[in-house]
A and B are shown apart, each in its own frame.
Chain A
Amino acid sequence: MSRPEIRVSGLHKSFGDNHVLRGVDLEIGRGEVVCVIGPSGSGKSTLLRCVNLLEEPTRGRVFVGGVELTDPDVDIDAVRRRIGMVFQQFNLFPHLTVAENLTLPQRRVLKRGKAEAAKVAAENLERVGLAEKADAYPSSLSGGQQQRVAIARALAMDPEVMLFDEPTSALDPELVGDVLAVMRMLADEGMTMMVVTHEMGFAREVADRVVFMDGGVIVEDGSPEQVIGAPRHERTRHFLSRLLDPAAAEVGEKTSDRVGTSG
């Protein structure tokens, strides 16, 4: 690994008294795909949102592509252009058509001309297999289609890094596959990706590394075969067993499963 594309060091984040991240160190190399797993409330989303500074870290430093985001003097809008983010709830702009969702950020943020923005939008809709939906409004699309549009919207900005926060958790099971296929394509193309997910199949097959978080720290970090196949820590084992067999959990047990409020 040469210079890491994403570097997080000594990251702490508190919401009031709630100390959510308690010292996270993480490096992700260029072209690497890292899946972040862990129980609800362990701080996965918060970590991801700290990487593009949607949340302001309480302490610690974040670098993306060699630029320090936590530097108070950095032009945060300029750095964010290089970091695409995909949300659990899609967050498409409902008042715009699919094509406009892709062209508006290009034109307003990157100052691309009308023709160029339209061309890039069309290319990216093609990539996610939704070229024919260009003139539709997001509300008329299925969840899976909306999420693919959201990915295309992020890609249209030519990001160097993509962040995914549980991109398939809000989808009906039969729609998950289409979105994962697009993400797999991106991984194959060499995109640097940080993916919070509960899709163990995806993590096992696509990820270069899997990171297990619990209680605001990284408990285990290694290859998918190691972390998922042969976890070293009891907490990882417990989490994975609950994930594979949710029915085994007992009432009142401190849950380590995927169900719960997600942020």
Chain B
Amino acid sequence: MADTEKPPLRPEGLQPRKKGLTRRQKQRLSRGVQYAVFVAAVAAFAVAADWGRLRNQFAQADIAERMFPDVITLALKNTVLYTVTGFTVGLVLGMVIALMRLSSVGPYRWLAGIYIEIFRGLPALLIFIFIGVAVPLAFPGTEIVGGTYGQVALALGLVAAAYMAETIRAGIQAVPRGQMEAARSLGFSPARAMVSVIIPQAFRIILPPLTNELVLLFKDSSLVLFLGVTLEERELSKFGRDLASQTANSTPILVAGLCYLLITIPLGLVVRRMEAKAQEAVK
């Protein structure tokens, strides 16, 4: 501000400050402090860490080597299998619940609402235990088709369905009302309009959140750990843990973790790409 100018008639508080730091100086200072803290923390860790020991615990090449090819052909394969079957069950069940939630029949709506509240509120682990332990005890003689695979698909599906139902319902409601009206005016029955016109559009809207759900399920499939699986049924987490205790070394955990990231990071990128695209389409 030029000092020579006559000061405009402003209340005191709005006058440009003359003393102390300007806003820009403050910003610069704050950023400098943050960088300094970061560098100090990294340096402290580098000095304090026992690198030899860490390397020994987490990065033993021969142990990692021994994990192959089973970690891929067995463990990762099972993880993917559990996830995909669970996702499929969840998608079908979620679709049914979403349509019930939108039904004009009250009891359907309530039932769907109760399901969603219950299964969103419970830890996934509890549902695994329920399917693995409580159901066989409560109904002796009954067997879930597919053995462990069926149990996992069901447990993951039950959890996923609650979330997916809400996502699908939101997607259906996001389709403009005119679409249903146009379909009805062409002679579509409500059900046929839903299947041919509304749901295909809803799925395009909810593809990103559904893919996100797939990532979550991928991680939740590790809960199979608690079902008591045979050697052939082990997935990444169980496989990694077993080998870790066998070898008294943490390398298998690291390798198993990397295998998860191998899938989840690309999927995450895909989701972000889709979201960006959807954003653009809106503009």
Contact (Cβ within 8 A) A109 B187: yes
- Most chain B Cβ neighbours within 10 Å, of A54, A91, A150: A91
Q: Indicate which residue in A77, A87, A93 contacts B189 across the interface (CB closer than 8 Å).
A: A77
Interface size on A, as a range, is 20 to 34
Q: Report chain A residues within 8 Å CB of B192.
A: 108-109
A109 touches B186 (CB 8 A): yes
Q: Is the CB of B201 within 8 A of A94?
A: yes
B178 touches A81 (CB 8 A): no
Interface residues as binary, A94-121 with B (CB distance below 8 Å gives 1, 0 otherwise): 1100000000110011100000000000
Which of A77, A84, A92: most chain B CB closer than 10 A? A77
Are A81's CB and B187's CB within 8 A? Answer: yes
Chain B CB within 8 A of A157 CB:
yes
Tell whether, in the assembled complex, residue B189 and residue A95 are in contact, meaning their CB atoms are under 8 Å apart.
no
> Does B181 lie within 8 Å of A153, measured CB to CB?
no
* CB-based contact B186/A95 at 8 Å: no
Q: For chain A residues 57-89, which have a beta carbon within 8 Å of chain B?
A: 77-78, 80-81, 83-85, 87, 89
Residues of B within 8 A of A192 (CB): none
Q: Do residues B200 and A95 form an inter-chain contact, with CB atoms below 8 A?
A: yes
Q: Which residues does chain A contribute within 8 Å of B201, judged by CB atoms? A: 93-95
**Interchain CA distance A93-B197 in the complex, whole Å:** 7
Whether B182 contacts A93 by the Cβ 8 Å rule is: yes
The answer for the CA separation of A92 and B185 in the assembled complex, in Å, is: 12
Checking A52, A93, A110 against B185 with a beta-carbon cut-off of 8 angstroms, the contacting residue is A52
Query: When the two chains form their complex, are residues A105 and B178 in contact, meaning their CB atoms are under 8 A apart?
Result: no
In this assembly, does A243 line the interface, its C-beta being within 8 Å of a C-beta of chain B? Answer: no
What residues of chain A lie closer than 8 Å to B184, measured between beta carbons?
54, 77, 80
On whether the beta carbons of B186 and A81 are closer than 8 Å, the reply is: yes
Q: Say yes or no: is B103 at the interface (Cβ < 8 Å to chain A).
A: no
B274 to chain A, nearest CB (A): 15
Asked whether, in the complex, the Cβ of A91 is within 8 Å of the Cβ of B181, the reply is yes
Does B182 contact A104, Cβ atoms closer than 8 Å?
no
Residues of chain B lying within 8 A (CB to CB) of residue A157: 186-187
Q: Check A93/B179 contact, CB under 8 A, given A104-B196, A108-B192, A108-B196.
A: yes
Chain B residues whose C-beta falls within 8 Å of the C-beta of A85 in the assembled complex: 182, 185
Identify the closest chain B residue to A89 (Cβ): B178
Given contacts A54-B181, A93-B179, contact A105 B186 (CB under 8 A): yes
In the complex, whether B272 has a CB less than 8 A from a CB of chain A is no
**Closest chain B residue to A83 by CB distance?**
B185
Residues on A facing B (Cβ under 8 Å): 52, 54, 77-78, 80-81, 83-85, 87, 89, 91-95, 104-105, 108-110, 150, 153-154, 157
Some 23 contacts from A to B, beta carbons below 8 A apart, are A54-B185, A77-B188, A80-B184, A80-B185, A80-B186, A80-B187, A81-B187, A84-B185, A85-B185, A87-B181, A87-B182, A89-B176, A89-B178, A91-B182, A92-B182, A93-B197, A94-B201, A95-B204, A104-B196, A108-B188, A109-B188, A153-B186, A157-B187
User: Which B residues are within 8 Å of any A CB, using their own CB?
Assistant: 176, 178-179, 181-189, 192, 196-197, 200-201, 204
What 8 A-B pairs have minimum CB-CB distances, sorted nearest first?
A81-B187, A91-B182, A85-B185, A91-B178, A105-B186, A109-B187, A80-B187, A77-B187
Identify 8 new A-B residue pairs, CB closer than 8 A, beyond the known A77-B184, A77-B187, A108-B196.
A80-B184, A85-B185, A91-B176, A93-B179, A93-B183, A104-B197, A105-B187, A110-B187
